[in-house]
C-alpha cells in the first residue's frame, strides 16, 4: 500500500482565528485526516518577531489548540503540536540559513510589509522568518503545504533551499508543492472587501471564530456593500456583496446562483441577516466544543505532551540525517 502524502500547515497563535481561517483552512483540515498524513504546527516561535505578553501568548497557544480540536480534528490522526516543543525547528533553521542567500531574503515582500507596521522593532528574526518557515516544512518532509497568495514566496524559498541542499548532499529533503483545497475559498475583509480577511486588521473587519452571535450580526450588518441593492456575484464591481455571497454559499452548501435567486429583490438587510444566521449556526457548535476543550487543562496537557513526542520523533530522524550530511559530529548522549 502506497504511504499517504504528508501535509504540513503552520499557524501563528497571535490575534484570533477568523471566519476566513475557518473557511479557508480549518474547515478543510478535518476532511484531510483520512486521505493524508497531517501535521499542524502552532508556530509560537514565529510569533516572537513581535513583542509578546508571555502570559497572553501561552494562553493564545492553548486557544488555537482547543479550536483545532473543536473543529473535529482527532489528535491521534492529525499531529497538532507547538513548534517550540520541538528543538529541531531552531536547529534546522540555522543550518538552512547557511544555504539561503541574502538576495532571496531581501526580495521577501512580507518582511517589507511587517517592517513598515513595526518600525520600532525591525529585528533579525523578522528578516530570517522565511528560513524558519522552510525548516518547519522540510523537517517533516512535507509533500504539500496549504498556502494563500501571501505565502507563495515563502513556499518558493522552501523549495529553492531544499533543491539547493539536495544538489549538494543527495536526496535529503522532500521538495514541497502547494496544496489547493477542493472546497472553501478566500474570505475578504468586511470593510475593505478587496483585501483578504485578516486577524491582524481592526476588529470590525473580520469575524472571529469565538465572536458572540450579537457581535457577528452587528459586524455583518455593517459590512460594506454598495448602493445598487442587488444580490449579484461580481467580485470586481461588487466586491462586498460578492464576499457575503461566497460566505453564504460555502456555509449553506449552495451555489452562488442559488444565493442570488433566493435573495433576489429582498434587499441587503435581509441578505445580511441570512449570512449572519449561517455564520452563527456554523460557529455555535464549534464554540461549545471549544469551551469544553479549553477548560480541560489536563486533556490539553496530555495532547501537548503526546504530540510533542510524536513530532520530535519525526524531526529527530530528519535532523540526524542533516547532521551527518553537513559533517556535524554525532553524539550518543
The CATH number given to whatever domain includes residue 213 is: 1.10.240.10
Q: Are residues 35 and 112 in the same domain?
A: yes
Containing domain of residue 264, as a range?
203-292
> Which segment of 15-19, 162-166, 285-289, 322-326 scores lowest on mean pLDDT?
15-19
Does residue 16 contact residue 211 with C-beta atoms inside 8 Å? no
In whole angstroms, what is the distance from residue 119 CA to residue 100 CA? 25
pLDDT tens for each residue of 26-36: 988 888 888 99
pLDDT confidence of residue 153? 85
Residue 321 lies in a domain: yes
Mean pLDDT of 87-108: 95
Q: Are residues 175 and 47 in the same domain?
A: yes
- DSSP reduced 3-state for 23: helix
pLDDT tens for each residue of 124-160: 888 899 999 999 999 999 999 988 766 788 899 999 9
Q: Which of 141, 199, 219, 238 is catalytic?
A: 199
Mean pLDDT of 240-258: 95
Grid coordinates representing 160 are: 529553492
Q: Are residues 155 and 278 in the same domain?
A: no
Total structural domains within the chain: 2
* Residue 196 appears among annotated catalytic residues: yes
How many other CB atoms are there within 10 angstroms of residue 35's CB atom?
Answer: 10
The CATH number given to whatever domain includes residue 63 is: 3.40.50.620
Q: Which of 141, 196, 219, 238 is catalytic?
A: 196
Q: Are residues 288 and 303 in the same domain?
A: no
Q: Are residues 79 and 160 in the same domain?
A: yes
Buried b (16+ CB within 10 A) or exposed e, 164-180: ebeeeeeebbbebeebe
pLDDT confidence of residue 332? 56
Q: Are residues 167 and 64 in the same domain?
A: yes
Mean pLDDT of 87-107: 95
Q: Are residues 305 and 274 in the same domain?
A: no
Residue matched to cell numbers 433576489: 264
Q: Residue 63 gets which letter from DSSP? A: H
pLDDT confidence of residue 183? 55
pLDDT tens for each residue of 172-212: 999 999 987 665 568 999 999 988 888 777 788 899 999 99
Q: Which of 114, 141, 219, 272 is catalytic?
A: 114
Residue 236 lies in a domain: yes
* Residue 199 appears among annotated catalytic residues: yes
Q: Are residues 45 and 154 in the same domain?
A: yes
Q: Are residues 22 and 88 in the same domain?
A: yes
Does residue 176 contact residue 145 with C-beta atoms inside 8 Å? yes
Residue 184 lies in a domain: no
Q: Are residues 252 and 310 in the same domain?
A: no
Q: Are residues 96 and 233 in the same domain?
A: no
pLDDT confidence of residue 333? 52
Residue 55 lies in a domain: yes
Mean pLDDT of the chain: 92
* Residue 272 appears among annotated catalytic residues: no
Give the confidence band of 99 by pLDDT, cuts at 50, 70, 90: very high
In whole angstroms, what is the distance from residue 269 CA to residue 316 CA? 56
| Beta-bridge mates of residue 38 | 7
| Beta-bridge mates of residue 79 | 39
- pLDDT above 90 coverage of the chain, percent: 75
| Beta-bridge mates of residue 144 | 7, 177
Q: Are residues 61 and 148 in the same domain?
A: yes
In whole angstroms, what is the distance from residue 274 CA to residue 271 CA? 5
Residue 13 lies in a domain: yes
Amino acid at each position: 500500500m502506497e504511504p499517504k502524502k504528508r501535509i504540513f500547515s503552520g499557524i501563528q497563535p497571535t490575534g484570533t482565528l477568523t471566519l476566513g481561517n475557518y473557511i479557508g483552512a480549518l474547515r478543510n483540515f478535518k476532511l484531510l485526516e483520512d486521505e493524508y498524513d497531517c501535521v499542524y504546527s502552532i508556530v509560537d516561535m514565529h510569533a516572537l518577531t513581535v513583542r509578546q505578553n508571555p502570559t497572553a501568548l501561552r494562553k493564545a497557544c492553548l486557544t488555537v489548540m482547543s479550536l483545532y480540536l473543536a473543529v473535529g480534528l482527532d489528535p491521534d490522526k492529525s499531529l497538532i503540536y507547538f513548534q517550540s516543543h520541538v528543538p529541531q525547528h531552531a536547529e534546522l533553521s540555522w543550518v538552512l540559513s547557511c544555504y539561503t542567500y541574502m538576495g532571496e531574503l531581501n526580495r521577501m515582500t512580507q518582511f517589507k510589509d511587517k517592517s513598515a507596521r513595526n518600525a520600532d522593532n525591525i529585528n533579525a528574526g523578522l528578516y530570517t522568518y522565511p528560513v524558519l518557515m522552510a525548516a518547519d516544512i522540510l523537517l517533516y518532509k512535507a509533500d504539500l503545504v496549504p498556502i494563500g497568495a501571501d505565502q507563495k514566496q515563502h513556499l518558493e524559498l522552501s523549495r529553492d533551499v531544499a533543491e539547493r541542499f539536495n544538489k549538494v548532499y543527495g536526496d535529503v529533503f522532500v521538495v514541497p508543492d502547494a496544496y489547493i483545497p477542493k472546497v472553501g475559498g478566500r474570505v475578504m475583509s468586511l470593510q475593505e472587501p478587496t483585501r483578504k480577511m485578516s486577524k491582524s486588521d481592526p476588529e470590525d473587519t473580520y469575524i472571529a471564530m469565538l465572536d458572540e452571535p450579537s457581535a457577528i450580526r452587528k459586524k455583518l450588518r455593517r459590512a460594506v456593500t454598495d448602493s445598487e441593492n442587488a444580490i449579484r456575484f461580481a467580485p470586481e464591481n461588487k466586491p462586498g456583496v460578492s464576499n457575503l455571497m461566497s460566505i453564504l454559499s460555502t456555509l449553506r452548501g449552495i451555489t452562488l446562483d442559488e444565493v442570488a435567486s433566493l435573495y433576489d429583490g429582498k434587499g441587503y438587510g435581509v441578505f445580511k441577516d441570512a449570512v449572519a444566521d449561517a455564520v452563527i449556526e456554523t460557529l455555535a457548535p464549534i464554540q461549545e466544543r471549544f469551551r469544553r476543550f479549553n477548560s480541560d487543562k489536563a486533556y490539553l496537557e496530555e495532547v501537548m505532551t503526546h504530540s510533542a513526542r510524536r513530532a520530535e520523533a519525526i524531526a529527530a530522524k530528519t535532523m540526524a540525517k542533516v547532521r551527518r550530511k553537513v559533517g556535524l559530529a554525532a553524539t550518543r548522549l
